[in-house]
Structure formats: C-alpha cells, structure tokens
Amino acid sequence: MDKQQPTTAEKPVSKTKDEIIKEAKRVEECLLYSSKGHFAASYFWGNFHLWIGVPVVLLSAVAGASALSQFDPKHVIAGLISILVAALSGVMTFLNPNEKASVHLNAGNNYDSLMNKVRIFWSIDCWRDESEQVLTEKLKYISEQKDKLNQSCPQVPRWAYNIAKKGIRDGEGDYTIDKNK
C-alpha cells in the first residue's frame, strides 16, 4: 500500500507554530479593518469633492450671469451667490478632498496588499517544512511592515472605521470560497 502524504488538516501543529498562525491571523484582521477604513474614507472624500465642486461650478456660472444683469435685485443675488462660491471654494481648498481620497485609497491598497501576504503566510507558508524560527522571522518582518504602514498612512477617521466595521460584520471582507466550506 502506498502511504499518502498527510493533508494540511492532518499535519500536527506545534504549540509555537499554532501561536505563529494565531498572531498572523490577528495581523490579518487588523489589516482588514485598516484597509476597509481607508477605502471608506477615500469613498467619502471622493464624493465630497463632487458634492462641493459641482455646486461651486454651477453657482459661479449663475453669479456671473446675474452680475451681467441690469436689475438691482439681481445684483444682490449675484453678490450673495459670489459670497457662497468664495466660501465653498475656500472649503475645497482647505480640505483638499481629492488629495485625501487619493491618500486613503493608496493606504487602503497598501494594507490590503499586506493582508493578502499575511493570509498566504498563515494558510500556506506555515504548513511547509520550514523551521519555527524561520516562520517567526517572517512573522516579525510582516509585523514591521504593518508598523511602517501605520506610521506612514493617515489615521482612519472614526466614522470611516465604523463604516468599515459594519461592512466587515455584514460579510464584505469574506470570500465566497470560505463561505462554502
């Protein structure tokens, strides 16, 4: 009789390897929340740009057309619209929503990329015949990469984190293959 190779589920796991896998899963979960939070913030700031930018353009056109009119009441309207345009333009310049959307999108993608590497680490690499020392070093390297992202990326706003948390609880971070098991 041929002796079959043990499957991943049949391989015995040492206490150390079990802890490495648990820690990798913790890192993966943290990265999931970070990536989803940044994606939520990016979505908000991208829409904010449109919510303010489109009215600025439209109001600027109305103010310009009203200013050309010869009737006094329309001059008042033109003046008020001009003030509103200036205020909204100032908000756009100060908040710079396009840049915020881009920065959060980049951060979300970076966290997502590292999360994928962590998942491959604990689900595949940890089951190879590598020593626990090698796996520990790989886990430390992954943790250092996460720390670098935490230092270089903007903070996720609380409201974006809450949106991400709700989405994750609703299954947005799940894969179909994992649901079918």
Mean pLDDT of 106-126: 96
Q: Tell me the C-alpha distance between 11 and 126, whole Å.
A: 11
pLDDT tens per residue across span 55-100: 777 777 777 666 656 556 656 676 677 777 777 777 788 888 889 9
Residue 137 lies in a domain: yes
Q: Is the pLDDT of residue 14 over 70?
A: yes
How sure is the predictor about 9, in pLDDT bands with cuts at 50, 70 and 90? low
Cα-based torsion angle of the residue sequence 143, 149, 155, 161 in order, rounded to the nearest 10 degrees: -60
Residue with tokens 């057309």: 65
Cβ(49)–Cβ(98) under 8 Å? yes
Decide if 53 is inside a domain: yes
Q: Is 144 a domain residue?
A: yes
Percentage of the chain lying above the pLDDT 70 cut? 83
Q: Residue 55 has what pLDDT? A: 77
Helix (H) or strand (E) holding 174: none
What mean pLDDT comes out for the span 151-172?
94
pLDDT greater at residue 5 or residue 68:
68
Work out the angle between the directed axes of helices 72-95 and 15-67 (0-180°, nearest 10): 160
Long-range CB contact pairs, 5-11, < 8 A, 24+: 8/127, 11/127
Residue 5 within any structural domain of the chain: no
**Rounded to an integer, what distance in angstroms lies between the CA atom of residue 72 and that of residue 24?**
70
| Cβ–Cβ < 8 Å for 112, 35 | yes
pLDDT attached to residue 64: 66
| Cβ(16)–Cβ(132) below 8 Å | yes
What is the pTM for the complete model shown? 0.75
Does 104 map to a domain?
yes
Give the CB-side neighbour count of residue 117, counting CA atoms within 13 A. 14
Mean pLDDT comparison of 7-16, 90-99, 152-161, 167-176, highest-scoring range: 152-161
Q: Range of 131's domain?
A: 16-169
Q: Does residue 9 fall inside a structural domain?
A: no
Say how many domains are in the chain.
Answer: 1
- 2 pLDDT band, cuts 50/70/90, is very low
**What per-residue confidence (pLDDT) applies to 83?**
74
Q: Which residue has the tokens 């999360």?
A: 115
In percent, the amount of the chain with pLDDT more than 90 equals 56
Residue 3 counted as domain residue: no
Q: Is pLDDT of 155 > 90?
A: yes
Q: Is 67 within a domain?
A: yes
Angle between helices 132-152 and 15-67 (to 10 degrees): 20
